């Protein structure tokens, strides 16, 4: 079979060439909006804006401020450096000063007026015995030494804030040279001392003695416990006391009845005597205190 030839047909000069069709150009209804980015259009809607703000706030709260850099953890080197800086730039109070400050509001001056001898004019002079006491109950109950107030016609106590009050003896313990006083006029917010068991005391433990040596005070002296369960015989009356705390914090006449205090500010004993083989009645390094367990029992207080 004869195949038909395939070829391109050239336009005949007699036949006009049809005009080319015009391009289909469609003008959008809103030309400006077509060129605007979608994100700018979205923020024009208040609902979208507030949704985004709420979502951002929620992620901040739930993340615990995750946008902040996490704090650097302290190392032992940092702590050591801070302690060293404080030690070099700050003057810290001593342990003895802190212990004395803790019990100071509970320490009182005790003064007993004792009928003395008649003078050349025939008048009777009153002698004064000065010692120390410590408040153990906020109703004005005070511990002191019996020899400070024994035979006194009148007893006056002076509190930490300067308040003076008459006081009476409510109980005595002759075996321990202790007396329990009760003041009739009390300062506001009277603070009793904190007492502590002597069961764990050891020789070498630091202590503070507070009192009115020779009427001067309140005075503070510091030392250590020298021994436990000591005995002492009074050179005046021959009285023998036992189970005493021996200490070397300076004590002199006037310290009698004052508190013996540990470094945590708690009372472990009542200063009662000093040992001096001479007649000088001054401190040479050996003092004695009645354990607070024995002293408090005389006031009806069993703290331990």
Average pLDDT over residues 34-38: 50
* CATH code at 206-298: 2.40.10.10
CA distance linking residue 245 with residue 180, whole number of Å: 20
What confidence tier does 272 reach under pLDDT thresholds 50, 70, 90?
very high
Cβ density class 253-274: b for 16+ within 10 Å, e for less = bbbbbbbbbbbebbbbbbbbbb
Half-sphere exposure of 99 (CA within 13 A, CB side): 24
Burial of 94 (0-12, 13-18, 19+ CB in 10 A): exposed
Which of 147, 165, 219, 221 does the annotation list as catalytic? Answer: 147
pLDDT at 11 over 50: no
CA distance linking residue 265 with residue 195, whole number of Å: 9
For residues 223 and 250, the answer to whether their CB atoms sit within 8 Å is yes
For residues 180 and 137, the answer to whether their CB atoms sit within 8 Å is no
User: Is 147 one of the annotated active-site residues of the chain?
Assistant: yes
CA angle 176-181-182, nearest 5°? 155
What confidence tier does 296 reach under pLDDT thresholds 50, 70, 90?
confident
| Domain ranges for the chain | 102-183, 206-298
pLDDT tens for residues 155-175?
999 999 999 999 999 999 998
- Better pLDDT: 190 or 85: 190
What confidence tier does 148 reach under pLDDT thresholds 50, 70, 90?
very high
With CA atoms as reference, report the closest residue to 298 among 166, 141, 147, 164. Answer: 141
Average pLDDT over residues 271-290: 90
The domain made up of 102-183 is a member of CATH 3.40.225.10: no
Q: What is the pLDDT of residue 10?
A: 43
Instruction: For the chain, give the percent of residues with pLDDT over 90.
Output: 53
CA distance linking residue 112 with residue 21, whole number of Å: 134
CA distance linking residue 141 with residue 60, whole number of Å: 61
For residues 72 and 228, the answer to whether their CB atoms sit within 8 Å is no
Average pLDDT over residues 186-195: 94
Element (H, E) at 184: none
pLDDT tens for residues 197-240?
999 999 999 999 999 999 999 999 999 999 999 998 876 666 78
Contacts of 116 (CB under 8 A, 6+ apart): 124, 125, 126, 127
pLDDT tens for residues 57-92?
555 555 555 556 667 788 999 888 888 888 788 887
For residues 252 and 275, the answer to whether their CB atoms sit within 8 Å is no
Which of 106, 165, 177, 248 does the annotation list as catalytic? Answer: 177
Which of 106, 165, 219, 256 does the annotation list as catalytic? Answer: 256
User: Is 177 one of the annotated active-site residues of the chain?
Assistant: yes
User: Is 30 one of the annotated active-site residues of the chain?
Assistant: no
Same fold, 102-183 and 206-298: yes
Average pLDDT over residues 24-48: 51
Q: What is the pLDDT of residue 125?
A: 60
């Amino acid at each position: 079979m004869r195949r038909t030839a395939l070829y391109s047909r050239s336009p005949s000069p007699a036949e006009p060439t049809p005009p080319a069709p015009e391009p289909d150009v469609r003008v959008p209804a809103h030309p400006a909006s077509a060129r605007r980015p979608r994100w700018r259009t979205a923020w024009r809607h208040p609902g979208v804006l507030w949704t985004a703000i709420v979502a951002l706030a929620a992620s901040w709260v739930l993340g615990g401020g995750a946008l902040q850099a996490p704090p650097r953890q302290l190392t032992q080197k940092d702590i050591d450096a801070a302690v060293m800086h404080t030690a070099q730039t700050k003057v810290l109070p001593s342990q003895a000063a802190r212990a004395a400050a803790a019990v100071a509001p509970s320490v009182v001056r005790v003064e007993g007026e004792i009928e003395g001898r008649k003078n050349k004019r025939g008048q009777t002079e009153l002698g004064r015995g000065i010692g120390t006491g410590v408040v153990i109950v906020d109703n004005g109950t005070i511990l002191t030494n019996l020899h400070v107030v024994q035979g006194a016609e009148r007893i006056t106590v002076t509190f930490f804030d300067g308040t003076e009050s008459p006081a009476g003896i409510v109980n005595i313990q002759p075996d321990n040279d202790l007396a329990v006083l009760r003041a009739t006029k009390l300062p506001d917010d009277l603070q009793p001392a904190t007492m502590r068991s002597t069961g764990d005391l050891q020789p070498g433990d630091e202590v503070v003695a507070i009192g009115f040596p020779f009427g001067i005070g309140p005075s503070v002296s510091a030392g250590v416990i020298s021994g436990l369960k000591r005995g002492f015989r009074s050179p005046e009356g021959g009285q023998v006391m036992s189970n005493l705390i021996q200490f070397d914090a300076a004590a002199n006449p006037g310290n009698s009845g004052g508190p013996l205090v540990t470094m945590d500010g708690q009372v472990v004993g009542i200063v009662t005597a000093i040992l001096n083989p001479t007649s000088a009645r001054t401190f040479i390094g050996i003092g004695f205190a009645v354990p607070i367990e024995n002293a408090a029992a005389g006031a009806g207080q069993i703290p331990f």
